[in-house]
């Protein structure tokens, strides 16, 4: 038989964040979301362009 291991109760961690820190984090999150949106649109455009080149290559 294996060793019996007792587990401790999970502990709650409380963290305090100042308002200015929270505001800065929210701003950074918004900027990152904008970057993700922009990069996603670039990726979609690149995929569409690649499909267009494939179609042209087949025609030629």
**Measured CA distances, 1 to 6, 16, 29 (Å):** 15, 45, 50
- Amino acid 36: pLDDT: 98
For the stretch 1-31, pLDDT in tens is 578 777 888 889 998 999 999 999 999 999 9
CA-atom Rg of the chain in angstroms: 25
Residue 60: pLDDT over 80: no
The reported pLDDT for the residue numbered 8 is: 85
């Amino acid at each position: 038989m294996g060793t019996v291991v007792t587990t401790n109760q999970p502990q709650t961690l409380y963290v305090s964040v100042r308002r200015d820190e929270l505001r800065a984090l929210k701003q950074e999150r918004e900027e990152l979301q904008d970057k993700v949106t922009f990069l996603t649109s670039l990726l979609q455009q690149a995929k569409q362009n690649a499909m267009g080149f494939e179609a042209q290559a087949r025609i030629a």
